[in-house]
Structure 1
Amino acid sequence: MNARSPRSPVTRAPSPTVVRDDADHLEIITGVLVIGGGPAATWAALNAARTSAGEGLGVTLVDKGYCGASGVAATSGVGHWLTPPGSPLRDETFRIKNATGGGQSDRVWVDAVLDETWAQISTLPAMGWDRVDRNRRQPSLDLTTDNPSGAPYFRGPAPDYLRFLRGQVKKAGVTVLDHSPAVELLVTDNRDAVVGARGLQVRAGRNWTVHAHAVVLATGGTTWRSHSLGGDTNTGDGQLMAAEAGADLAAMEYSNFQGMVPFGTSMDKNGYFIKAEYWTGDGTPIHYDDLHYSRVPLLEHSVKGTVYARFSQFAPAQRATARENMPNFFAVVDKLGINPFTERFPIDWVHEGTVRGTGGVRVDDTTCAVGLPGLYAAGDVAARDRITGAATGAGGPNLSWAVASGSWAGTHAARFAASRSGSPLTGRPGTASSASSPRGIRRHAAGLGSIATTSVGHGDGRTPDWRELTGRIRAQMLPLTNAVFRSEDRLASMLGELDRVWDLLRDASPRSPVDEYRLREVAGMAAMGRWATLSALERRESRAMHFRVDHPQTDPEATYRLLVSGVHRPRVHRQPSGKTRVGVPA
């Protein structure tokens, strides 16, 4: 694998049909629509294009930012879980994640993700990936054990990886619309299938509509605009759209992960903090057991005053390598004039929400189908508790989940689109229009948005200030006293305020496409906050990142999974523990 592999021939999906393209509106008909622009979205688009090419169906990707350069992954490194099928390393990998995650991981799901990630990453050399790890002067990807580390690896800066994936997406014939956030899904007029989405092209100042036979949501998690590095575009848009289409969410109580940063920055790179030394402001050492299991001891001190850290775990001979492995972190501390190896420096916390947490849309099998027919979910928009339980997946597991779920979702979305394209569009009884024709797929599409959209009427005629509402949500979700140190009274108070914000959104009347886009972002954050808070109320124990001051012990009987359903009147119910099958349903 070290030698450059010959490139595989590029199979291009056909171009979508452009129905309208003027100053006011862009309208497209496509086979598969992917909403998002990070690793899950690009792997979904690639696999959809590969599957669609032989079916004569186009693939379109729309991203709120610039595909391949926005979101949390763009600020990271390339650190997938990489273990080949049958590797003995898997036993240890699962043991560690299951232990830190409160015993809620599923070995069958972990194996499925590792298998699919291995298969997908193995295609990179044939696509032309030949990067060299400049620090080590070795190939950045080696899937053999014939290397100094003795294990497969994939190293390098994520921006280069994502830029490469964007290029592959374009080569595969995918139409990419950047700076084009989606505001709502489109469904058939009797609401029995998803048939596309609509949104806003921000820079062009015009609306877009994409009619599609299948849609993949890969919009990421949410950080409630905490200013987590790269996370402020993650506002729960996809989760809200999925719930409006009837999907459940799972593990939403595990949505409060706190990242560690040098004080006054957003550089939330947690790896080197795990084994650092810590002190209170007066120089008293802070003792902890294992930050993989719980950060509560440090967080308790942070509520009382500033905590100081030092990376004492690195011997002088190891420091140059440590700097090379995390250059963006050291660019920040160097600018601050801090030597983190020898000096104590103040730290702070940043809420990483469901990006580092595990809550999201419930996915039951490797089709990644959710809600109404024709809808699929991939990456951080989907729940990852089957993989890492109640603890953060961190970089490797989360990135592997993005690759695996993206490839599954894109493949099955394209297969579903192919099965639908030659049949009459499901819609009004008696309709005979072909779903593959512009007239057929457009004729009976209706907006599914249930709040803060022009599709739900005019409310009371007012447009609330989205910035003010965002501030009110942040005031509930971000403070450590609310996010980490949970209690019945505190959670009930948070839920009450979030419900009041929700009521204002239900009465909202967007006056412009930009108002609608911004208010839908707020609605996504409010919905995610309500689901997370309601789930945290229901789990009356402490487990991994979920800590209840009024129930500080882990209940060995509470191995159930919490599911939350509904948009306007959410409700929580328990899914009994037990391993679920992973494969494609018959």
Structure 2
Amino acid sequence: MSAIETDVLVLGGGPAGAWAAVSAAALGVRVVLVDKQRVGIASAAWGHRPWQVPPGAARDAAIRQAHRSGGELGDPDEMHRILDETCHRLGQLAAWGRHGGRANYFHALRRRLHGAGVRVLEYHPVLQLLVDRDGVVAGATGLRADHQQWTVRAGAVVLATGGCDFLAGGSDIHTGDGLLCAAEAGAQLSGMEFSSAYDLVSAVGTPVTFEKYYDDAGTELTDHAAALDVIALGHRVYGALGDLGGPAGAVDSFGWGPTAATAGSAERVSGAGAAVSTGRMGAAAPAGRVSAGEAAGSVGRVPLRPVLRGTVGGAGGLLTGADGATTVDGLYAAGDAAARESILGAAHAAGGQGGAWAIASGVWAGAGAARCALERGVPTTAHPVPGAGLNSRSRIDPRAVVGLVQEHTLPLRRSYWRSAGSLRDSIAELDALWPGAVLELGGAGPVRLQARQAAALLAVARWTKYSALARTESRGMHRRTDHPGAAQDWRVRLTSGGLDRIWVRTGADSRVQPVRAARLPVPRGRRPDSEDHDVSPDIRRGAGQLSGLATVRSDREVTELTGFRRTPGQESAVVRGELAAEPADRPADPGAAVAS
């Protein structure tokens, strides 16, 4: 088919993608939004009341609590900025919703997309990013519902495809496809070690949230983490139906719970970083599942089971700047696809925090992409970035790849309780599989999509394992049995990237210096790793956070190498760059913060 041309292409139709499209369209640019299913259907952030606390003492208290729960890796200044944006945009959304009556969040925002002239393409999963002759991201290509190819050329792209839950919930939505696409173009990631979030869900399918947990003896457990510890030891955990966390009274105009959004009512964040929503969108129980009322009359308490959320419930994702720009020119990221350490730190993603981040990051990325497109224009030619799982024929069953990835990610012994031994074992097996995924996965039509998703799951699993091995402490959701305590010198963020060779280094978030994507054609079915680019020295320390610059610039400067067996013919390493002083001949950065 002929390529569609637009100014801004948004990949992903959850709240972050929708807000990005609306924000970009407000600046007068043409916008196309594509989603792998229906817009708004599968996002983790739709069903929760976004974290919104007006300025004042309540907000200050909420931010202090969130900062503590996140292991002091979050950025209180950024939390204020996110809350400001969220409150402003939800006010706008309420005004838009009144035009159609008491519409809920999703329908109000979807109507706004239509009113803004955004072209929406549903059931259009993305397979590859496009880059121009200079390596700047210039669109994307993928499959339509009829398995034919679609192509959109654009002046800038917003990646809002969500995170990766390793198919733990049975849905093929959160498979990390966008993260793989971005990494193949040379993008860097951050916080991938914070990918071990588990939800406790009813073993009988009751669609409710519990505020308290109990063991076999009926003893109340202190928090979400204590409940997971009990399960990891082989015992059962229950939720009592008298402790349901659902709405108990009036709802607001979007179908959420009580309208007061204070530090204690919208979300209760435990010391372990787990969140319990007291205002989940009301919804009927799905067919075949037990409703809360039916369960209350029959069992009284409900057995719970852990379900891995991966980066969907964690903080890891693409490294972005204040305007959502990634480390690759022309590419922006929002929502779960972007690293959320600024708001979550090392904590489990609370429903409200995730909802607020989706709004704020979507607005910023959409506006940043629109400004980029207006300055750059739409390139006349672009070519796909080569990637894994895209061969014309498949010599590996994607299900075998998925099975191995799940074996090393889903069990509590693999992701909740980590150690150097278990992580090195996982890395060795996952690394050994990667060359085959690059050279042997592929096919046509739906098989091609399955192969691509399997490659993405494998790539994300490797980034999480390498990052977890590099962080030799326990903080927030990241728990090391061989390093059980939090270390003061580990109050830093880890960036990561690479495909054939994974790298991890200490670094900091904030403003990043864009780099170019891969420019030259590479042999079919395989691509070299992107350059190991440095993070810009123009980085502001987050309030209350010690953070440093990445100092590893080449293999000669590697200061620490983990010792596990390498796969024959493959170079793999976890690299930790020690913090270093600036060279004497480099002028001091006047914008850098001074440690207190």
Residue 30 of structure 1 and its aligned partner are, at CA, apart by 0.6
| TM-score (normalizing by structure 1) | 0.77
Residue from 51, 73, 78 that aligns with 1:81 = 51
Q: CA–CA distance in 1 between the matches of 2:508 and 2:146?
A: 49
Residue 385 (structure 1) aligned with residue 344 (structure 2): no
Residue 112 of structure 1 and its aligned partner are, at CA, apart by 1.2
Residue 254 (structure 1) aligned with residue 194 (structure 2): yes
CA distances 1:274-297 after superposition (whole Å, capped 9, x unpaired): 3x14022xxx24453333xxx145
CA distances 1:397-428 after superposition (whole Å, capped 9, x unpaired): 1111110010111111011101112xxxxxxx
Residue from 138, 157, 181 that aligns with 1:215 = 157
Q: Which moved more, 1:89-98 or 1:117-126?
A: 117-126
Which residue of structure 2 aligns with residue 358 of structure 1? Answer: 315
Query: Structure 1, unaligned stretches of length 5 or more?
Result: 1-24, 133-139, 141-155, 422-434, 436-440
Which residue of structure 2 aligns with residue 278 of structure 1? Answer: 214
Residue 348 of structure 1 and its aligned partner are, at CA, apart by 0.6
Q: Match of 2:201, as an amino acid? A: V
Q: CA–CA distance in 1 between the matches of 2:508 and 2:24?
A: 34
Which residue of structure 2 aligns with residue 112 of structure 1? Answer: 81
- CA change 1:394–1:551 in 2 (3 A) is same
Is the contact between residue 224 and residue 477 of structure 1 (CA under 8 Å) also seen in structure 2? Answer: yes
SS at match of 1:95: helix
Is the contact between residue 263 and residue 347 of structure 1 (CA under 8 Å) also seen in structure 2? Answer: yes
Which residue of structure 2 aligns with residue 146 of structure 1? Answer: none
CA distances 1:291-341 after superposition (whole Å, capped 9, x unpaired): 3xxx145433344132223145479x9699999966448674437942189
Residue from 35, 38, 50 that aligns with 2:14 = 38
Q: CA–CA distance in 2 between the matches of 1:401 and 1:324?
A: 17
Q: CA–CA distance in 2 between the matches of 1:165 and 1:319?
A: 25
Which residue of structure 2 aligns with residue 48 of structure 1? Answer: 24
Task: Spell out the pairing of 1:332-351 with structure 2 (5 A cutoff).
Answer: 332-334=289-291, 337-339=294-296, 343-351=300-308
Residue from 40, 58, 71 that aligns with 2:43 = 71
Which residue of structure 1 aligns with residue 388 of structure 2? Answer: 451
Q: CA–CA distance in 2 between the matches of 1:471 and 1:125?
A: 44
Q: Match of 2:421, as an amino acid? A: D
Q: CA–CA distance in 2 between the matches of 1:26 and 1:305?
A: 58
- CA change 1:93–1:492 in 2 (3 A) is same
Q: Match of 2:359, as an amino acid? A: V
SS at match of 2:131: strand
Residue from 229, 233, 255 that aligns with 1:299 = 229
Task: Spell out the pairing of 1:92-491 with structure 2 (5 A cutoff).
Answer: 92-129=61-98, 160-191=104-135, 193-201=136-144, 203-227=145-169, 232-265=172-205, 267=207, 272-274=209-211, 276-280=212-216, 284-291=217-224, 295-313=225-243, 327-328=282-283, 332-334=289-291, 337-339=294-296, 343-365=300-322, 367-421=323-377, 435=378, 441-443=379-381, 445-454=382-391, 462-491=394-423
Is the contact between residue 137 and residue 156 of structure 2 (CA under 8 Å) also seen in structure 1? Answer: yes
SS at match of 2:305: strand
Which residue of structure 2 aligns with residue 149 of structure 1? Answer: none
Q: CA–CA distance in 2 between the matches of 1:209 and 1:164?
A: 29
CA distances 1:165-207 after superposition (whole Å, capped 9, x unpaired): 122112211111100001000001342x111110000x23311
CA distances 1:469-517 after superposition (whole Å, capped 9, x unpaired): 2122111110111111111111111112222332221112523143332
Residue from 423, 440, 460 that aligns with 1:528 = 460
Count of matched residue positions in the alignment of Structure 1 and Structure 2: 487
- CA change 1:477–1:515 in 2 (3 A) is same
CA distances 1:347-380 after superposition (whole Å, capped 9, x unpaired): 1111111111111111132x11113211100000
- CA change 1:167–1:529 in 2 (3 A) is same
- CA change 1:223–1:266 in 2 (3 A) is farther
Q: CA–CA distance in 2 between the matches of 1:117 and 1:327?
A: 21
Q: CA–CA distance in 2 between the matches of 1:579 and 1:297?
A: 37
Is the contact between residue 310 and residue 342 of structure 1 (CA under 8 Å) also seen in structure 2? Answer: no
Residue 388 of structure 1 and its aligned partner are, at CA, apart by 1.5
Q: CA–CA distance in 1 between the matches of 2:206 and 2:175?
A: 17
SS at match of 1:110: helix
Residue 242 of structure 1 and its aligned partner are, at CA, apart by 1.6
SS at match of 2:161: coil
Is the contact between residue 238 and residue 381 of structure 1 (CA under 8 Å) also seen in structure 2? Answer: yes
Is the contact between residue 225 and residue 235 of structure 1 (CA under 8 Å) also seen in structure 2? Answer: yes
Residue 511 (structure 1) aligned with residue 443 (structure 2): yes
Is the contact between residue 279 and residue 308 of structure 1 (CA under 8 Å) also seen in structure 2? Answer: yes
Q: CA–CA distance in 2 between the matches of 1:115 and 1:325?
A: 22
Q: Match of 1:304, as an amino acid? A: G
- CA change 1:404–1:335 in 2 (3 A) is closer
Residue 554 of structure 1 and its aligned partner are, at CA, apart by 1.6
Residue 237 of structure 1 and its aligned partner are, at CA, apart by 1.2
SS at match of 1:265: coil
Q: Match of 1:161, as an amino acid? A: Y
- CA change 1:301–1:198 in 2 (3 A) is closer
Is the contact between residue 26 and residue 207 of structure 1 (CA under 8 Å) also seen in structure 2? Answer: no
SS at match of 1:346: strand
Q: CA–CA distance in 2 between the matches of 1:544 and 1:116?
A: 26
Q: CA–CA distance in 2 between the matches of 1:245 and 1:371?
A: 10
Q: CA–CA distance in 2 between the matches of 1:168 and 1:26?
A: 28
Residue 122 of structure 1 and its aligned partner are, at CA, apart by 1.9
Q: CA–CA distance in 2 between the matches of 1:333 and 1:319?
A: 22
SS at match of 2:440: coil
Q: Which moved more, 1:319-328 or 1:382-391?
A: 319-328
Is the contact between residue 241 and residue 302 of structure 2 (CA under 8 Å) also seen in structure 1? Answer: no
Q: Match of 1:197, as an amino acid? A: A
Q: CA–CA distance in 1 between the matches of 2:93 and 2:250?
A: 30
Q: CA–CA distance in 1 between the matches of 2:71 and 2:496?
A: 20
Q: CA–CA distance in 1 between the matches of 2:16 and 2:337?
A: 10
- CA change 1:518–1:383 in 2 (3 A) is same
Which residue of structure 2 aligns with residue 555 of structure 1? Answer: 487
- CA change 1:326–1:513 in 2 (3 A) is closer
Q: Which has the higher helix share?
A: 1
Residue 545 of structure 1 and its aligned partner are, at CA, apart by 0.8
| TM-score (normalizing by structure 2) | 0.76
- CA change 1:344–1:414 in 2 (3 A) is same
Is the contact between residue 241 and residue 449 of structure 1 (CA under 8 Å) also seen in structure 2? Answer: no
